[in-house]
Amino acid sequence: MTVRWKLIQGYEKRSKFPVKILFSGSDSDFVYVTKMIFDDGFKILLQGKFTLWFFMLVARSNIFGCDLMLFQYKRDKSVSIKKNEFQLPLWIGQTVSLPLSLGNESVKSDVRTIIKNNLSYRVTSSKKHIEKFLDDFWVPTVKKRYPEKNIDEEIWQWKDYECELLLVNDGADDISGALLRYDQGGPYLWRNGLKNGDLSLWKTGGIAATYYFSAEYLFSKGYQSLYLGLARAFLRDGLFQYKKKWGGVLSCSNNYAFILKIFRDSNGIRHFLMNNPFFSYSKGKICSSVFYNESRDCDEKTYHFNGVDGVKCINIDEFLLNL
């Protein structure tokens, strides 16, 4: 196995202190990680490729003088987890029970917006309508939100599945939609988007309506659950937070993971760890890993989710002292 890696340096987003990272992962992972950790800019100091064995030797020896390492790998590879290393699932999935529970205040607000704007929906399996939705709704929305993402190979994947299209209308025009995929395990809210990628339609309930109406429609067809798809394994990830509010049960995608290793104490590392709690494997189970200190407690109720086995509260001073 060949490992492609990059040595990156920039200023941590909140502290503005320098952080040096050894990174190995996909292009989309690279964009996500650099946006999460760094301020406006960063530099790629070195890049190359090693065998897996040599990469792990170089990385764990910290030859490059890094603050942390993030390494994506396939979990069936013979990579063991060492002291001061965390194994993060690459993705976290969420499944909601039907009918939806409307106890969350943010969800209640979304429903009020949907009602206020007289939004309604219809469902079609027309191939022509699905293709138009992908071209005019999904693709522009993805390009607006994730300009670095290459979706050319994904546009036609729907033809390999049984799908229906749910379109949301404001009384004058279709403003958003969702492509529902029917898998063996149940329905999946696979892809949604706003007309022409107009993100202002988010405020009128365009995206919330795709969740709300999809759940309503599928429940009327006799389904008991709806899979909402994947988000990153960082608890403050925007997509994860949005999906979480609908009250789902979490699951993890087990094929790939990140190894997160902290090498040394620094202001940048402290801010990164304190502000970016994450999911990690602990004895084969998934837990929320949360760093705390004297001025900030680890509130287990805040970080416990359905489908997660527990909360791992880590005193940051003790952890960094024992590196």
Q: Does residue 99 have a cis peptide bond before it, meaning omega lies within 30 degrees of 0? A: yes
Which tokens sit at 4? 């492609």
Mean pLDDT, the chain, integer: 94
**Domain total in the chain:** 2
Confidence at residue 153, expressed as pLDDT on a 0 to 100 scale: 77
Q: How far apart are CA 28 and CA 26, in angstroms?
A: 5
Q: Which amino acid is at 11?
A: Y
Residues 141 and 15 in one domain: no
Residues 102 and 52 in one domain: no
What integer is the mean pLDDT of 166-194? 97
Residues 171 and 278 in one domain: no
Residues 63 and 50 in one domain: yes
Residues 166 and 83 in one domain: no
Q: Answer yes or no: is pLDDT of 293 > 90.
A: yes
Q: How far apart are CA 186 and CA 124, in angstroms?
A: 18
**Residue 106, SS3?**
helix
Q: How far apart are CA 105 and CA 45, in angstroms?
A: 46
Confidence of residue 63 (pLDDT cuts 50, 70, 90): very high
Which pLDDT tens digit goes with each residue over 66-96? 999 999 998 877 788 998 899 999 999 999 9
Domain enclosing residue 190, as ranges = 93-250
Q: Answer yes or no: is pLDDT of 314 > 90.
A: yes
Which pLDDT tens digit goes with each residue over 209-248? 999 999 999 999 999 999 999 999 999 999 999 999 999 9
Confidence at residue 180, expressed as pLDDT on a 0 to 100 scale: 98
Confidence of residue 181 (pLDDT cuts 50, 70, 90): very high
Confidence at residue 146, expressed as pLDDT on a 0 to 100 scale: 87
Residues 244 and 143 in one domain: yes
Beta bridge partners of 29: none
Q: What is the CATH number of the domain that holds 195?
A: 3.40.630.30
- Alpha helices per DSSP H over 103-255: 105-116, 127-133, 139-145, 206-220, 238-244
Q: How far apart are CA 160 and CA 50, in angstroms?
A: 36
What integer is the mean pLDDT of 158-177? 97
